[in-house]
């Protein structure tokens, strides 16, 4: 178990894990270890890795807890060098950093956001989050807790602020507050308790020395004033923050060691199973079953990859042909408008919307068909995903059949084949899941690209059409203004027809062809790019099969 011993030793030798490269090294090694535990343990272990990452990257959490009105808010204000936290509120606060100060109140599972002025008004809530623009809070989160609101297990360092020592339990540091309100007899009794159970902080004693002696450190203050605030702030910066960091690192290290102890058996079992497997695979019947399963895996994967690439190519070709056909149809429909009869009544009013409807109504067919094609493509994609997913289930059945055959041959190897089968199934399903995920991501991007292109075309054509129609109306009005006599209906029709022939169809045909040709080039370029991506992804998927092939090559080598 050198890999585990080396890992733990290296981790324990690191006194600080704040540097990015050190974090990365530790987490990578942790991840590599977890990858080779048994499948039934792996999910829990990988979730643990995520939690460790969060712990490393999280702020130091320092909890200030104690009885109501004990001076917790005054202590926090001393740490923050401000008076922002209201006194005598008896509320639970979590104080965090934000560039923009604000307040978030939690009450009866309802969260509301307010300005900081609300702090002076609120009387009760489950707890409140206070966000302040304070440099300390960039690395530290402070929690003001009335007794059990925030447990010691959740924080990195716990400070107990109280007026009576018998209430100061389960904490890293005690602030005995308001001693100026005690009688002489009470002071003598407290001094006696401090000497017996605590280490009083002074020039010769520190929090670090108290923890090393396994004694709780304590400091006594009067009702916190300016002088006390300065002293407490100094203790906070010079002793509490460094000690909180040490305790946080220790908590992370202990958590990882506990994980190692709980999963090392799983790792050992897996290694032992492969050692025993080298003996089992020498049996002829086992080799036959293994080779049969190998063939099933190979054929199944090849079939999926072939279907995936061919189906997607067919879908792309059909879509491309439809798009080209719609382009030609679109231009033809525009040309037909030249010979359409225009309602003369509409021409008298020169209503822009009416002319737009006459001239361009048929063109909307293009966009609708284009969108229909994209929708059909997305439906084909959904069917393909469903098909690939169902084939995954067939493969699982094959593996289970194989496992049953092996177990029937020799019940004594059930445990070993179970582990081997778990690992084989893990590698195989890894390939299947990669195929499904890559297919979903790739086709989603293609469909999004196509929808973006048709939206762009619709937007451009709509704006160009509006400009052209306004241009027609302008030209007609100019012609009318130049005429000395009121035009009759025939003259007006001739004017409009001439303007349409001279300006509109000359420009609109050029515009349509230009827009569609450019779009065709864009889609052709996108298609080529996606094909390259598909081919690369298929190659990557094929490379994943090396994991499974390696298992069976080992079997073959053992036989020889």
Q: Which residue has the higher pLDDT, 10 or 265?
A: 265
Please report the pLDDT score of residue 416 as a whole number.
40
Render pLDDT for 57-89 as a digit per residue (tens, 0 to 9): 888 999 998 888 888 888 898 899 888 888 877
What CA–CA distance (Å, rounded) separates 102 from 33? 43
Question: 174 and 259: one domain?
Answer: no
337, containing H or E segment: none
Question: 209 and 305: one domain?
Answer: no
Please report the pLDDT score of residue 140 as a whole number.
94
Domain count, the chain: 3
Whether residue 356 has pLDDT greater than 50 = no
With a CB cutoff of 8 Å and minimum separation 6, the contacts of 217 are 172, 173, 174, 198, 199, 200, 201, 205, 206, 207, 210, 211
Please report the pLDDT score of residue 131 as a whole number.
92
The pairing of beta strand 157-162 with beta strand 173-176? parallel
Within 281-410, residue ranges assigned H as helices are 284-336, 344-349, 352-360, 364-409
Percentage of the chain modeled with pLDDT above 70: 36
Q: Which of 161-175, 242-256, 503-517 has the highest mean pLDDT?
A: 242-256
534 in Cβ contact with 312 (< 8 Å): yes
Question: 241 and 351: one domain?
Answer: no
Question: 114 and 189: one domain?
Answer: yes
Q: Which of 139-148, 168-177, 244-253, 329-338 has the lowest mean pLDDT?
A: 329-338
Residue 269 lies in a domain: no
Q: Which residue has the higher pLDDT, 119 or 539?
A: 119
Residue 195 lies in a domain: yes
Question: 139 and 156: one domain?
Answer: yes
Whether residue 412 has pLDDT greater than 80 = no
- Three-point CA angle 448, 453, 455, nearest 5°: 95
Residue 274 lies in a domain: no
The pairing of beta strand 127-132 with beta strand 102-107? antiparallel
Please report the pLDDT score of residue 385 as a whole number.
67
Q: Which of 38-42, 471-475, 489-493, 510-514 has the lowest mean pLDDT?
A: 510-514
Q: Which of 45-59, 250-264, 434-448 has the lowest mean pLDDT?
A: 434-448
If DSSP codes are grouped into helix, strand and coil, which group holds residue 251? helix
With a CB cutoff of 8 Å and minimum separation 6, the contacts of 522 are 453
Percentage of the chain modeled with pLDDT above 90: 6
Please report the pLDDT score of residue 199 as a whole number.
87
Please report the pLDDT score of residue 518 as a whole number.
53
Question: 381 and 527: one domain?
Answer: yes
Whether residue 213 has pLDDT greater than 60 = yes
Q: Which of 85-99, 286-300, 413-427 has the highest mean pLDDT?
A: 85-99
Instruction: Identify the CA nearest to 202 among candidates 162, 241, 231.
Output: 231
Among candidate residues 233, 263, 293, the one where a domain is terminated: 263
pLDDT confidence band for 118 (50 / 70 / 90): confident
What CA–CA distance (Å, rounded) separates 490 from 335? 23
Please report the pLDDT score of residue 413 as a whole number.
43
pLDDT confidence band for 414 (50 / 70 / 90): very low
pLDDT confidence band for 278 (50 / 70 / 90): very low
Question: 551 and 528: one domain?
Answer: yes
Burial class of 264 by CB neighbour count within 10 A (0 to 12, 13 to 18, 19+): middle
Q: Which of 227-236, 317-326, 424-433 has the highest mean pLDDT?
A: 227-236
Instruction: Identify the CA nearest to 253 among candidates 6, 5, 15, 4.
Output: 15
Q: Which residue has the higher pLDDT, 210 or 88?
A: 210
Question: 217 and 319: one domain?
Answer: no
Among candidate residues 234, 263, 292, the one where a domain is terminated: 263
Tokens of 81: 């060098």
419 in Cβ contact with 38 (< 8 Å): yes
Residue 168 lies in a domain: yes
Q: Which residues constitute the domain of residue 15?
A: 2-56+252-263
Please report the pLDDT score of residue 483 as a whole number.
60
When the pLDDT of each residue in the chain is averaged and rounded to a whole number, the result is 65
Please report the pLDDT score of residue 95 as a whole number.
94
């Amino acid at each position: 178990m050198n890999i585990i011993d080396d890992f733990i030793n290296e981790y324990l030798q690191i006194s600080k894990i704040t540097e990015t490269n050190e974090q990365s090294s530790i987490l990578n090694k942790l991840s590599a270890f977890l990858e080779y535990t048994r499948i039934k343990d792996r999910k829990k272990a990988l979730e643990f890795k995520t939690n460790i990452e969060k712990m490393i990257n999280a702020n130091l959490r320092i909890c200030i807890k104690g009885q109501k009105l004990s001076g917790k808010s005054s202590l926090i204000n001393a740490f923050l060098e401000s008076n922002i936290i209201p006194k005598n509120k008896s509320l639970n606060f979590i104080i965090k950093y934000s560039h923009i100060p604000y307040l978030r109140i939690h009450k009866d599972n309802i969260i509301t956001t307010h300005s900081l002025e609300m702090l002076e008004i609120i009387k009760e809530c489950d707890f409140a989050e206070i966000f302040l623009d304070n440099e300390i809070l960039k690395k530290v989160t402070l929690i003001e807790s009335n007794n059990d609101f925030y447990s010691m297990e959740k924080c990195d360092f716990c400070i107990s602020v109280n007026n009576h020592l018998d209430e100061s339990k389960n904490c890293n540091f005690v602030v005995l507050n308001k001693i100026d309100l005690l009688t002489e007899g009470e002071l003598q009794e407290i001094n006696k308790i401090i000497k017996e159970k605590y280490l009083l902080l002074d020039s010769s004693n520190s929090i670090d020395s108290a923890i090393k002696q396994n004694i709780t450190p304590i400091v006594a203050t009067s009702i916190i004033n300016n002088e006390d605030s300065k002293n407490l702030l100094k203790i906070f910066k010079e002793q509490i923050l460094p000690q909180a960091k040490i305790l946080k690192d220790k908590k992370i290290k202990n958590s990882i060691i506990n994980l190692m102890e709980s999963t090392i058996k799983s790792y050992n079992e897996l290694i032992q199973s492969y050692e025993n497997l080298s003996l089992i695979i020498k049996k002829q019947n086992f080799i036959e079953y293994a080779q049969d399963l190998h063939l099933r895996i190979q054929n199944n994967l090849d079939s999926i990859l072939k279907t995936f690439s061919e189906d997607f190519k067919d879908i792309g070709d059909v879509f491309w042909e439809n798009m080209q056909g719609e382009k030609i149809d679109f231009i033809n429909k525009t040309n037909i408008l030249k010979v359409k009869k225009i309602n003369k009544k509409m021409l008298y009013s020169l209503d822009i919307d009416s002319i737009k409807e006459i001239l361009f109504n048929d063109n909307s067919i293009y966009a609708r068909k284009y969108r229909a094609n994209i929708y059909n493509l997305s439906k084909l994609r959904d069917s393909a995903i469903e098909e690939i997913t169902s084939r995954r289930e067939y493969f699982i059945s094959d593996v289970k059949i194989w496992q049953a055959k092996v177990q029937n041959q020799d019940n004594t190897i059930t445990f070993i084949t179970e582990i081997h089968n778990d690992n084989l199934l893990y590698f195989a399903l890894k390939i299947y899941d990669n195929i499904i995920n890559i297919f979903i991501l790739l086709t989603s991007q293609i469909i999004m690209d196509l929808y973006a292109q048709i939206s762009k075309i619709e937007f451009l054509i709509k704006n160009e059409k509006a400009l052209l129609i306004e241009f027609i109306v302008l030209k007609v009005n100019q012609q009318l203004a130049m005429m000395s006599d009121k035009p009759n209906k025939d003259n007006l029709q001739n004017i409009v027809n001439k303007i349409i022939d001279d300006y509109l169809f000359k420009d609109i045909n050029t515009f349509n062809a230009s827009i569609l040709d450019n779009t065709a080039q864009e889609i052709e370029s996108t298609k080529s790019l996606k094909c390259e991506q598909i081919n690369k992804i298929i190659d990557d998927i094929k490379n994943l099969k090396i994991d499974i092939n390696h298992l069976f090559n080992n079997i073959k080598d053992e036989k020889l």
